[in-house]
Amino acid sequence: MLRAALALLRRDLLLARRRAGESLLVVAFLALATTLFPLGVGASPDLLGRIGTGVVWVLALLAVLLGLERLFQPDLEDGSLEQLLLSPAPLELLVLARCLAHWLATGLLVTLASPLLGLLLALPGEALLALPLVLLLGTPTLTLVGGIGAALLVGSGRGAMLAALLVLPLEIPVLIFGLAATEALAAGLDPTGALLLLGALLLAALAFAPLAIAAALRLALE
């Protein structure tokens, strides 16, 4: 049972490695998008310092939403999704494995790239350190919640844009508490409250998102 989930994880990671170029494109897109902000609002370090962490968080959210289409749609089209339903492992567990693999190729990548993005916005050293730490706690939630939207719309032919619209309001708490924690950490204040809330959101998403995603996928394939 667990072995089937591990097999799925292994396959997804193999696939992610063979198309590593796609993931690097996401990072390149983020870096380019970041450089638009100094161009758009002016390169004053004071102004960038105030909006910088917010910009990186919003871009991280967008990067996760952009990747949602690849979460289940390719598997629906090539028949893998049907085989997942016929696996002895519970679909919820397989869904969790899939989300983990997807997060490693998108969320973790964004997390690792965040200091670089912060550097492009001339953020101070404390913020460069705080960003990846808090993103590490926040991006898995973004992926899990986004997965619900992706699963609900899989096969509807409307694709990622509508899924993004659907889940965006649900992602806002992560953005709010993530930003609060990052800014508190960067300013040397106590970030415990925001971090705890962020952790609670992650635990709730871990518990409920796989159930919701699996139910949506079963419905899509009936």
Partner 1 sequence: MLEAEGLACRRGGRLVFEAVSFALEPGDALLLLGPNGSGKTSLLRLLAGLARPAAGTVRWRGRDIREERAEHAQRLHLVGFADGLKGLLGVAENLALQAALLGEPEARVTAALEAFDLAGRARDPVRALSSGQRRRLALARLLAVARPLWLLDEPGVALDRANRARLEGAIERHRAEGGLAVVASHGDVGLRDPLVLELGDGPPC
Binding site for partner 1 (CB under 8 A): 1, 3-4, 6-8, 10-11, 14-15, 18-19, 75, 77-80, 82-90, 221-222
Write down the least CB distance from residue 94 to partner 1, Å.
Answer: 8
Write down the least CB distance from residue 11 to partner 1, Å.
Answer: 5
Looking at beta carbons only, is 3 or 190 nearer to partner 1? Answer: 3
**Residue 132 in tokens:** 């990846």
Looking at beta carbons only, is 40 or 157 nearer to partner 1? Answer: 157
Q: What is the DSSP string of the chain?
A: -HHHHHHHHHHHHHHHHHTHHHHHHHHHHHHHHHHHHHHHH---HHHHHHHHHHHHHHHHHHHHHHHTHHHHHHHHHHTHHHHHHTSSS-HHHHHHHHHHHHHHHTHHHHHHHHHHHHHHTT--HHHHHHHHHHHHHHHHHHHHHHHHHHHHTTTSS-HHHHHHHHHHHHHHHHHHHHHHHHHHHHTTS--HHHHHHHHHHHHHHHHHHHHHHHHHHHHHH-
Write down the least CB distance from residue 151 to partner 1, Å.
Answer: 16
Looking at beta carbons only, is 12 or 171 nearer to partner 1? Answer: 12
Looking at beta carbons only, is 84 or 186 nearer to partner 1? Answer: 84
Could you tell me which of 31, 60, 22, 25 has the C-alpha nearest to residue 142?
60
Write down the least CB distance from residue 56 to partner 1, Å.
Answer: 31
Looking at beta carbons only, is 22 or 126 nearer to partner 1? Answer: 22
Write down the least CB distance from residue 68 to partner 1, Å.
Answer: 19
Write down the least CB distance from residue 97 to partner 1, Å.
Answer: 10
Looking at beta carbons only, is 74 or 125 nearer to partner 1? Answer: 74
